């Protein structure tokens, strides 16, 4: 039985999009779904189930950080029969090739943390996303003529701008992993999916960069997020 979700069995779709922000979940439901219904609001973590072009989908917030998305994704997979979760969020860029507003499809997520050891007792710091979901997202992007970058992300426990020196962290990252940027949830989502033999993917919009001093307007942020949201929803149709 789910402890943090009041939705009834059958009210959560097999395919879920997970933004971090509950208000973004509300925004997506209001602007992209038909016949949507609020099915969870425990702790303010909204979940809406509706239809996108006739395909049932649930939009549920994950909150911030690995512990939060770890809880919500586990319950969705374990208790509600969810098969596929696509995280949609934002990230910071670490490399010159990554521009602000780029859409990133995460291939692998790396963490210095002990989420995996806590969950299963196993040492694991690098985990793959679902190749099945990524293949579908990539083919959808090509059909939509939507540009994207595919690469690896660091999943952190602290918000980059609040670090005393972000480069101390960046310089510790294994060079062979070719990490492009950082966010805070993907590792826990991917690892939970692997444990429960489910599928997980992650799409991110680059909101800032350590390499480039660019400030986005709120309108630019919203438009770029909309492109990512549409890509995720169009991919869901094929699941």
Q: What is the pLDDT of residues 159-193, one digit of tens each?
A: 888 888 988 999 999 999 999 999 999 999 999 99
Q: Helices marked H in the chain — which ranges?
A: 22-32, 66-80, 115-120, 131-144, 166-172, 186-195, 218-237
Cβ neighbour number for residue 171 with a 10 Å cutoff = 9
The one catalytic residue among 21, 107, 128, 208: 208
Whole-angstrom CA distances from 35 to 13, 32, 46, 77, 105 are 13, 10, 16, 24, 29
pLDDT given at position 40: 97
Pairwise pLDDT comparison (18 vs 3), residue with the higher score = 18
pLDDT given at position 142: 98
Q: What's the topology of domain 15-237?
A: Rossmann fold (3.40.50)
- Lowest-pLDDT choice from 29-38, 208-217, 220-229: 208-217
pLDDT given at position 75: 97
Q: Which token pair is 44?
A: 């303010």
Does the annotation count 128 as an active-site position? no
pTM (predicted TM-score): 0.95
pLDDT at 214 > cutoff 80: no
pLDDT given at position 166: 87
Q: What is the mean pLDDT of the chain?
A: 94
pLDDT given at position 223: 66
Do residues 76 and 85 make contact, with C-beta atoms less than 8 angstroms apart? Answer: yes
pLDDT digits (tens, 9 = 90+) for 53-67: 999 999 999 999 999
pLDDT at 212 > cutoff 80: no
Q: Which of 78, 108, 100 is nearest to 5 (CA)?
A: 78
pLDDT given at position 222: 63
pLDDT given at position 209: 85
């Amino acid at each position: 039985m789910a402890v943090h979700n009041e939705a009834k069995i059958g009210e959560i779709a097999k395919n879920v999009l997970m933004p971090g922000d509950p208000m973004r979940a509300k925004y997506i439901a209001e602007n992209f779904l038909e016949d949507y219904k609020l099915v969870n609001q425990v702790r303010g973590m909204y979940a809406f189930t509706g239809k996108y072009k006739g395909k049932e989908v649930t939009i549920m917030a994950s909150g911030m950080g690995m512990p939060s998305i770890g809880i919500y994704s586990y319950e969705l997979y374990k208790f509600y029969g969810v098969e596929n979760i696509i995280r949609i969020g934002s990230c910071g860029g670490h490399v010159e090739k990554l521009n602000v507003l780029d859409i990133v499809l995460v291939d692998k997520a790396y963490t210095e943390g002990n989420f995996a050891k806590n969950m299963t007792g196993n040492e694991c710091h690098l985990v793959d996303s679902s190749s099945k979901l990524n293949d579908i997202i990539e083919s959808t992007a090509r059909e939509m003529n939507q540009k994207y970058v595919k690469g690896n992300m660091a999943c952190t426990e602290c918000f980059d701008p609040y670090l005393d020196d972000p480069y101390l962290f960046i310089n510790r990252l294994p060079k062979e992993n070719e990490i492009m940027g950082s966010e805070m949830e993907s590792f826990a989502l991917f690892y939970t999916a692997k444990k429960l033999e489910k599928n997980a993917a992650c799409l991110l919009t680059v909101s800032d960069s350590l390499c480039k001093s660019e400030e986005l307007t709120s309108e630019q942020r919203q438009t770029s997020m909309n492109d990512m949201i549409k890509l995720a929803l169009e991919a869901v149709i094929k699941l």
